[in-house]
Amino acid sequence: MIKVDISNVWGQLSLPDLLAVEQEVAQAHRTLTEGTGAGNDFLGWLDLPVEKETEEMKRIQAAANQIRANSDVFVVVGIGGSYLGPRAAIELLQGCNHNIGKGKGNPQIYFAGNTLSTRAWNELQRLLEGKDFSLAVISKSGTTTEPAIAFRALKWMLERKYGTAGAAKRIYAITDPAKGALRQMATEEGWETFVIPPAAGGRYSVLTAVGLLPMAVAGIDIRQVMKGAYEAKVEYNRLRSFENPVWLYAGVRNLLYRNGKKTEIMASWEPGYKMMGGWWQQLFGESEGKDGKGIFPVSVEFTADLHSLGQMIQQGERNIFETMIRFDAPEQVAVVGSDAKNLDGLNYLAGKQLDFVDEQAYLGTLAAHVDGGVPVITMDMGALNDEKMGEMFYFFELCCGVSAYMLGVNPFNQPGVEFYKKNMFQLLGKPGY
- Contact between 215 and 228 under an 8 Å Cβ cutoff? The reply is no
Backbone φ/ψ region at 2: left (φ over 0), alpha (ψ -120 to 50), beta: beta
The reply to whether 307 belongs to the active site is yes
Tell me which DSSP letter residue 328 carries.
P
> How does strand 320-326 pair with strand 263-268?
parallel
* Bridge partners for 380 per DSSP: 3, 326
Catalytic residue among 146, 264, 286, 387: 286
Q: Is 317 a catalytic residue?
A: no
Provide DSSP, 56-115. Answer: HHHHHHHHHHHHHHH-SEEEEE--GGGTHHHHHHHHHHH-TTTTTT-BTTB-EEEEESS-
Choosing from 307, 317, 341, 418, the catalytic residue is 307
List, in sequence order, every beta strand (DSSP E) within 142-215: 171-175, 192-195
Reduce the DSSP state of residue 181 to 3 states and report it. Answer: helix
Q: Residue 346 in contact with residue 336, Cβ under 8 Å?
A: yes
Strand segments, DSSP code E, in 252-301 are 263-268, 296-301
Q: Which of 293, 421, 422, 430 is catalytic?
A: 421
How remote is the C-alpha of 272 from its chain's centroid? 12
Cis? peptide before 187, omega within 30° of 0 = no
90-111 in b/e form (b: 16+ CB < 10 A) is bbbbbeeebbeebeeeebbbbb
Those residues with Cβ within 8 angstroms of residue 355's Cβ, 6 or more apart along the chain or in another chain: 329, 330, 333, 334
Catalytic sites, residue numbers:
286, 307, 421
